[in-house]
């Protein structure tokens, strides 16, 4: 896995500096106040000779419908992308305002991820030649990262309740395609 890890020097120079985590009921990542974010699987670590298994794990992570327990925490590289993703998922729930309760957006300082294995989806997909994931995951591949096992509380700069930034649209037809959705482990 080391060969796919984003070096700390690159994380320190990441522009934008912040990564964004969408947390919602039913996702596989848990937030523990004062400790940080934790993937459901905090034990799995793939060795360099386990490229196939690592690749399968990443493909599972890119599939919204996969309920395979994952060692990753998905992160968006842009706040607008994260907010848009919340809106699209929520909009598929018929705009019930109470459906947004429990959804949060985490602002994560990439400079504070020194001890975290962080991978850029596009690098892993390209280097391993991965192709077995939904077409809708295209935005996830090009604009997102995954962190292995956990993100320390010290890296979480802000937690924003989604209800503060997301409002239901006005009544009428809505053109939201499921092809635009991306997964969230």
CATH of residue 48: 3.90.210
Q: Say if residue 177's pLDDT is above 70.
A: no
Task: Using pLDDT thresholds of 50, 70 and 90, give the confidence band for residue 151.
Answer: very high
Q: Classify residue 177 by its DSSP letter.
A: -
Q: Give how many domains the chain has, as a whole number.
A: 1
Check: CB of residue 155 under 8 Å from CB of residue 36: yes
Q: Say if residue 169's pLDDT is above 70.
A: no
Q: Say if residue 43's pLDDT is above 50.
A: yes
pLDDT in tens, 9-21: 777 776 668 999 9
Separation of CA 86 from chain center: 12
Q: Among 5-14, 156-165, 167-176, name the one with the lowest average pLDDT.
A: 167-176
Number of H helices, E strands in the chain: 6, 9
Q: Say if residue 141's pLDDT is above 70.
A: no
What Å distances lie between residue 100 and 94, 95, 108, 166, CA to CA? 11, 9, 21, 8
What Å distances lie between residue 41 and 46, 65, 147, 181, CA to CA? 13, 17, 12, 24
* Residue-range definition of the domain harbouring residue 116: 2-179
Q: Is residue 185 part of a domain?
A: no
Selected residue with higher pLDDT from 23 and 6? 23
Q: Is residue 184 part of a domain?
A: no
pTM: 0.80
- Over the range 34-69, which residues count as b (16 or more CB within 10 Å of their CB) and which as e? eebbbbbbeebebeeeeeeebbbbbbbbbbbebeee
Q: Say if residue 33's pLDDT is above 90.
A: yes
> What was the pLDDT predicted at 84?
82
Q: Is residue 105 part of a domain?
A: yes
Selected residue with higher pLDDT from 57 and 62? 57
- Over the range 92-123, which residues count as b (16 or more CB within 10 Å of their CB) and which as e? eeeeeeebbeebbbbbbbbebbeebbbbbbee
> What was the pLDDT predicted at 97?
59
Q: Compute the mean pLDDT over every residue in the chain, rounded to the nearest whole number.
A: 80
Task: Using pLDDT thresholds of 50, 70 and 90, give the confidence band for residue 134.
Answer: low
Q: Is residue 41 part of a domain?
A: yes
Distance CA(7)–CA(2), nearest Å, equals 9
Q: Classify residue 16 by its DSSP letter.
A: S
pLDDT in tens, 85-117: 887 776 665 545 556 677 899 999 999 998 999
Distance CA(61)–CA(63), nearest Å, equals 6
């Amino acid at each position: 896995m080391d060969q796919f890890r984003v070096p700390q020097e690159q994380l320190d120079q990441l522009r934008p500096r912040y990564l964004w985590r969408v947390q919602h009921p039913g996702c596989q990542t848990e937030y523990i106040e004062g400790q940080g974010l934790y993937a459901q699987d905090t034990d799995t670590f793939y060795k360099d000779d386990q490229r196939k298994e690592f690749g399968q794990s990443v493909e599972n992570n890119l599939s919204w419908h996969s309920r395979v327990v994952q060692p990753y925490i998905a992160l968006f590289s842009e706040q607008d992308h994260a907010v848009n993703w919340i809106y699209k998922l929520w909009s598929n729930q018929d705009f019930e305002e109470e459906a947004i309760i429990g959804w949060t957006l985490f602002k994560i300082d990439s400079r504070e991820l020194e001890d975290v294995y962080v991978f850029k989806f596009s690098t892993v997909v390209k280097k391993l030649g991965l192709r077995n994931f939904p077409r809708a995951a295209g935005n996830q591949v090009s604009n997102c990262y995954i962190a292995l096992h956990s993100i320390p509380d010290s890296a979480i700069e802000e937690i924003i309740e989604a209800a503060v930034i997301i409002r239901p649209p006005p009544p009428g037809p809505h053109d939201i395609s499921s092809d635009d959705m991306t997964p969230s482990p």
